[in-house]
């Protein structure tokens, strides 16, 4: 079975309403193209960089899961019959001064399947996300979709092989990675290397979507379980399309049955 996925490699701004309006338009465009799943970048709801990278600012623009951003995406998913994955800023508990960096997973009926809170925060390369976000305390649990079993992680979490290994042990055909990967020395090399490595070591598709503009890199990738790049973005805005082919996945896993050779009893001594 082959399924077309769309990668909305777009630039976000500070206005959540404008970003939602654009997302809804692109969702319709992707559905007309035959896509059954569309992925938007991490934090697409409202970007915050420079002087806006503060807990109080982010808390002020964050929304709840029944707010206009999530509700609008659910309406578009239902209208166009397409699964939608998109990043947002979610209001955390009233007792917290921070917000969640949340990824929504919405099915083609407009139902919110899950809202994942990024658990490994980007305290690296001179930035400290933990000053702004509350960390989630659970990894994403893989879910069944009409086009395969899906895992999910967000941006910086790509650097932790334990995350994809944990999810792969629960059965994953493809991983989705919404990102806001910051440009910088060696960053593009790290990105491409890590995405490809995670595809190969887990014999699974990797479907990534990175922001552009605002010092974000772009270069979204779709990599198949053999490590072959099936789609790649530039540094500019684009809508990319690629296929998830479960027959290809089965053939690769027959050639490389590494997942069946794992010995987890040896890995945590």
Q: Side-chain half-sphere of 56: how many Cα atoms within 13 Å? A: 1
Q: What angle do helix axes 68-80 and 16-32 make, rounded to 10 degrees? A: 10
Which single residue is written with the structure tokens 């970003």?
19
Burial 180-211 (b: 16+ CB within 10 A, else e): bbbeeeeeeeebbebbbbbbbbbbbbbbbbbb
Catalytic residues: 42, 118, 155
Q: How many CB atoms neighbour CB 248 within 10 A?
A: 17
Alpha helix locations (H) across 12-83? Answer: 16-32, 55-61, 68-80
**215: Cβ–Cβ under 8 A, 6 or more apart, which residues?**
49, 182, 183
């Amino acid at each position: 079975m082959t399924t077309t996925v769309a990668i909305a490699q777009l630039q976000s701004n500070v206005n959540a309403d404008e970003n939602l309006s654009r997302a809804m338009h692109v969702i319709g465009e992707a559905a007309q193209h035959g896509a059954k799943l569309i992925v938007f970048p991490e934090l697409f709801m409202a970007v915050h960089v420079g002087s806006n990278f503060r807990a109080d600012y982010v808390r002020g623009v964050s929304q709840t899961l029944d707010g206009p951003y999530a509700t609008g995406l659910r309406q578009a998913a239902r209208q166009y019959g397409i699964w939608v994955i998109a990043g947002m800023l979610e209001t955390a508990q009233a007792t917290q001064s921070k917000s969640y960096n949340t990824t929504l997973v919405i099915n083609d009926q407009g139902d919110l399947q899950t809202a994942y809170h990024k658990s490994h925060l980007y305290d690296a390369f001179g930035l400290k996300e933990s000053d702004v976000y509350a960390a989630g305390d659970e990894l994403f649990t893989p879910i069944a979709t009409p086009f395969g079993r899906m895992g999910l992680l967000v941006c910086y979490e790509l650097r932790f092989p334990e995350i994809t290994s944990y999810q792969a042990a629960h059965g994953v055909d493809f991983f989705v990675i919404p990102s806001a990967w910051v440009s910088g020395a060696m960053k593009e090399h790290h990105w491409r290397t890590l995405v490809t490595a995670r595809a190969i070591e887990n014999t699974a598709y990797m479907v990534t979507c990175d922001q552009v503009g605002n010092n974000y890199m772009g270069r979204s990738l779709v990599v198949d379980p053999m490590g072959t790049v099936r789609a790649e973005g530039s540094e500019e805005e684009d809508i990319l399309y690629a296929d998830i082919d479960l027959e290809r996945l089965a053939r690769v896993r027959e050639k490389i049955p590494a997942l069946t050779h794992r010995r987890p009893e040896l890995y945590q001594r």
